[in-house]
Amino acid sequence: MTKRLDNKTALVFGAGSSGPGWGNGKATAVLFAREGARVVCVDRVAEAAEETAAIIRDEGFEALAITADVTASAEIAAAVAQTVATFGSLDVLHNNVGITEMGGPVELDEARWHRAMDVNATSVFLCCKHAIPEMLKSGGGTIVNVSSLAAIRYTGYPYLAYYAAKAAVNQMTVAIALEYAKQGIRCNAIMPGMMDTPLIRTQIVGQYADADDMIAKRHAACPMGHMGDAWDIAKAALFLASDESRYITGHCLPVDGGLSSRAG
């Protein structure tokens, strides 16, 4: 049976997980492999990249683990080069890396502002900068950026730099999509809403009394009454990476259980 990413090579930045369980990048890398892709798992933490690649290989699919910092242009270029050298092409780029830095315009210091912008936004620019030329060599490809509902909504958290960076990701997505539409490259973004992933336990929990309080309040904030999970993001990414979405580009897709549709 034909799979949705048969004979494709997918480069997933942020393929590890920030804690135990399934993060968005980890789930996406595994799902891409299950759907036929050769997957290159990139993470700043070598063990995290290898853990995801090992899951894929244990299931009988092809995977390569690479350690790279998405704020380092040379390391991204090396990851792209190694991908093409190993598998012969680059067909899907998935940009999943993201961090939160708490603080409003007064509280947030400049160093943390720059870190949030570099990790969340500059990383997307750099990954696209190095991946697009390889996609053009083979006639096109697909780019899926993970943004956030915070790109278009105030979510209640005091993370000014995160709002700004994710808004930048959305507009970069649109600009890239339109610039390369006639050259066979599609570019879309996913905007997760309230998701139950390891990241919230490592980066968001400090905004609540405790972890149980956080989980309960985030579930309650969702119109469906519960948060989504990493597999909801992975399935959206698979759709946008596959030919099923061949006439969709420049779109920023909310995956949020209806949260962006609710007033107030």
Q: Which of the residues are catalytic?
A: 162
Rounded distance, CA 152 to CA 169, Å?
Answer: 11
Rounded distance, CA 49 to CA 176, Å?
Answer: 27
Q: Which amino acid is at 140?
A: G
Look at strands 141-146 and 9-13 and give their pairing.
Answer: unpaired
- If we measure between CA atoms, which residue out of 30, 1, 48 comes closest to residue 198? 48
DSSP letters along 69-102, please? Answer: -TT-HHHHHHHHHHHHHHHS---EEEE-------
Beta strands in the chain (DSSP E): 9-13, 38-43, 63-67, 92-95, 141-146, 185-192, 252-255
